[in-house]
Chain A
Amino acid sequence: MNDLTQSAFNKPRVVGQRTPRIDGEFKLTGRAGYTGELLAEGMLYGYPVPATIANGVLESLELDDALAMPGVVDILHHGHFEHLHRSPNSMAHGDMVSEVRLPFEDERIYYHGQYVALVVAETFEQARAAAYRVIARYKEEDGAAIGLLHTDAQGELQESAGTSRGDPEAAFGGAEVKIDSTYQIAAESHLQMEMHATLAEWRDDGKRLVVHESTQGVFFQRNAMARIFGLAQENLEVISHYIGSGFGNKLFMWPHAVATAVAARMAGRPVKVVLPRQQDMTGGGNRPASRQRVRLGADRSGKLTSVIHDSTTETSLVHQYVDACGSATPSFYACDNVSTSQRVLEVNHGTPCPMRAPGEVSGIFALETAMDELAVELGMDPVELRQKNNAEQDPASGLPWSSKHLDECLTSAARRFGWDKRNPAVGSMRDGDEIVGYGMASCTWSAGRQPCEARVELRADGSLFAACGTQDIGTGTYTIVAQAVAELTGADLSRIEVKLGETSLPAGPLSGGSMATATVLPAVAAAVRDALDAIKEVATGSGGAFEGSDADSLEAEQGGLTDGKRRVSFEEILETGKLSSVNGKGSAAPGDERSEYSFRSFGAHFVEIRIDPDISRVRVARVVSTIDIGRAINPPTARNQVEGGIVMGLGMGLLEKLDYDPRDARLINANVADYIVPTHADAPDIDVELLDYPDFKHNEFGGRGVGEIGLTGVAPAIANAIYHATGKRYRDLPITIEALLAAS
């Protein structure tokens, strides 16, 4: 793999081809077992009791009535819990958690919804009924930190999260054209359809803990639980076969899982906890609110001379989370003078965590809205302004891009959208009673890669088996692993079984950051090649189908080996060798290419909005996007993710807002009706084009990952379209009907 422009996958048969999901039928018939619906022999149910205040002290719990309820086995709380240790919370050691504070660790209440007790009972109904009967008495304190958008407080500067090159302040001061704007984005809920869920069971006389969890990282949870419970990693198993998505809030473990495992040990029986939606929203993660100031300096020709991007985001009082809004900014545009800074403010909210395109999606809203403001100021077409400032290499690292086709994204999407029909004058485009607005923005996400291991078996029954301890959160990982195996063996997809989501499997990565594809597939390929070497050895050995041949002269083809004259199936080779299977192990990791190139995906969104001025209703009518993600391993599932990101971006732009009560910091809209997300009726016409430039510098499959990028850039494209329609610049998200009314 030294020649970074060539690959075994230059002309693939299966990789890059439309492949129906191999787990599809399980999901479509109800046979896919998600954590919350698993049953275990003798299983008990846990139901957490959430704090009803956001700031104060838990003074007492009255438990007698609840304990006397039918079926109640136990109630865990601060005075009745095990002594545990905190996880070191290290990304490098793979034991990061979402909230370092252990459940019931102290009696202080830091946020609304914090668990004050866990009721354990024989049935779900009994646990829930008893949880409602627990009486908690609090001493509520004044002065709750309501949230970043309710205060002028500055927060703590995060020195390590800032960057600077050139002299941005001086360049801004001397710039011919200046933009200086502040942007605010409300906190958002992941609102993944499956709430957090844990089924914990202690086996072998309490020596071994088996946990089913709806998680994006089985290994991270195992490692963290090992530290928390003082167990050897070998005595812990975490399993997650099907995940009702995560969007980042299932990357790292939350306290409910620890409480569930303790309950199971204390009761001596398996315990299952499925968080009620309200608790999932108060204490199961959120995208923190942000306030960003962006200053752009440019000359009259539109060339950027300065970019200064200063951000503040929220964290909770029990865990430090930094949502780095400026992380894409230094790489976005060619400009000699760029700085970013990041502050974090502690608030009385449940702990925030990564949410799809964490940090960058917020930062890109600010930056790409500011670019639109600059285009207006210059009287220049927004597409042209972006082309003029295109970064031919990564200005942050000075390295060449592994592969970048932003210009083609801009021109192709603009053409399909009909951008040339845009009259740039504000409010100039009308259709009947509606004002039409056209807006656009670029989008980007970094292309990362992690170390990974995998195992592959070629079996005497003709089946092939691949295993990796990563997860499929709905992105299609099961299917692309099978595609990789099919590609390298020529075997039919129907013969390939894939196992993911268990810590008993070879170590695999988090399903997050758009890194899983580039991380997992090279390890699977290495394992396939190792298995092929093993079966070639069998075939060329004594009594083998190709006895005496040179192993290097054999190629895999259609699930067998061929010497160019005849083909013998894997089954037959194994049968002849009296073997049940041959195994291959593989590992892969990023290498020297990371110091030679910068890896990042780019794309462009073009949005048409329509506003009915009489009722201040805005509607996203259509979105046309072109995205360069390298090669799409499975184009329909990749496109599906981009389309889904666009829908989520519509929510971010117009609908989504976690509302905290300005009096006491309680979360007002912790339910699916009052926290508004896009529905079928909101979904616009979407036209997504994926360019096909395999990035073999990134990995031999040429894919750069696709989960995040579709979301980035959507909200600013909407806001820019609304400006085009109304002349009103919206710098706060979401752009609600109330905001539109106030402006009209």
Chain B
Amino acid sequence: MMDDSVHSRTASSETQSLNLTLNGEPLTLQVAPNAVLLDVLREQLGLGGTKKGCDHGQCGACTVQIDGQAMNSCLRLAVMCEGQHVTTVEGLARDGELHPVQQSFLECDAFQCGYCTPGQMMSAAALLEDERIGTDDASVKEAMSGNICRCGAYKNILTAIQQARTQLAHDATAPRKEGVA
């Protein structure tokens, strides 16, 4: 998917240098000062897993994790990410093994068209690590309400998140597997 001509085109107009860690890999790139993180991911880096649904921070489809926090990538200029750790859905699976959230989304059929799904999973993975958010269904639904699913797969998404919680707890007590966080 990577298209080198996109890099060179962007670099030919006014750009700024940006250093960040993307999905665990250090990366330096040239970005336009008005380029939004979401567009840099999708158009410049060819990471299409992060979706565009509104460009206004209203739908949650573009959710990524920045330093472990779920954030709308459409509301951040790329240059604001200097020195930060950005994780996209492409960085959720490790060594070819699905993250427990991905696995439970698959098993629970927690999606239909799949377009909001990366954002749902990035929010879900973050909230499962967030001790401020209660573990009951109502707390999870409240915390997930920034991620709209127009197919309306909310029931299965909730089931999947709670199933992933159980799996993560199990993983935490089980002998640690190589390469899985």
Contact = CB atoms under 8 A, between A and B. Distances in A.
Interface in B88-126: 88-90, 92-93, 98, 102, 105-107, 109, 111-118, 121
B107 A20 contact: yes
A123 B10 contact: yes
Contacts of A20: 106-107, 109
Nearest to B31: A125
Given A193-B53, A194-B53, A29 B148 contact: no
Contacts of A645: 152
A129 B34 contact: yes
Interface residues of A, number: 68
A32 B121 CA distance: 15
Interface stretch (B128-136, B137-145, B162-170, B171-179): B137-145
Instruction: Specify which of B10, B142, B146 lies most central, judged by the most chain A CB atoms within 10 Å of its CB.
Output: B10
A243 B51 CA distance: 12
Contacts of A643: 152-153, 155-156
B13 A646 contact: no
B105 to A, nearest CB: 6
A28 B117 contact: yes
Contacts of B1: 33, 39
A244 B93 contact: no
A70 B106 contact: no
Given A123-B9, A123-B43, A124-B39, A30 B150 contact: no
A280 to B, nearest CB: 9
A681 B145 contact: yes
Instruction: Specify which of A29, A32, A637 lies most central, judged by the most chain B CB atoms within 10 Å of its CB.
Output: A29
Given A29-B49, A70-B14, A195-B53, A124 B43 contact: yes
Contact of A277 (B42, B55, B102): B55
B29 interface: no
A681 B142 contact: yes
A196 to B, nearest CB: 12
Nearest to A274: B52
A475 B141 CA distance: 24
User: How many B residues are at the interface, by size bracket?
Assistant: 35 or more
B53 A672 contact: yes
Contact of B115 (A71, A129, A244, A476): A244
A317 interface: no
A129 B36 CA distance: 13
A43 B154 contact: no
B154 A193 contact: no
A28 B142 CA distance: 23
A680 B115 contact: no
Interface string B31-46: 0101110010011001
A30 B102 contact: no
A245 interface: yes
A463 interface: no
A191 interface: yes
A678 interface: yes
A14 to B, nearest CB: 16
Interface of A: 20-21, 23-25, 27-34, 36-43, 45, 70-71, 122-126, 129, 190-195, 242-245, 247, 274, 276-277, 473-476, 636-637, 640-641, 643-648, 671-673, 677-681, 683, 686
27 contacts: A21-B106, A28-B89, A28-B121, A30-B47, A40-B3, A71-B9, A122-B13, A124-B39, A125-B35, A125-B39, A192-B150, A193-B59, A194-B113, A195-B52, A243-B113, A277-B53, A277-B59, A474-B115, A636-B109, A637-B112, A645-B152, A647-B152, A648-B150, A680-B157, A681-B141, A681-B145, A683-B154
Across the A-B interface, give the 4 residue pairs with the lowest CB-CB distance, nearest first.
A30-B49, A37-B48, A474-B113, A647-B152
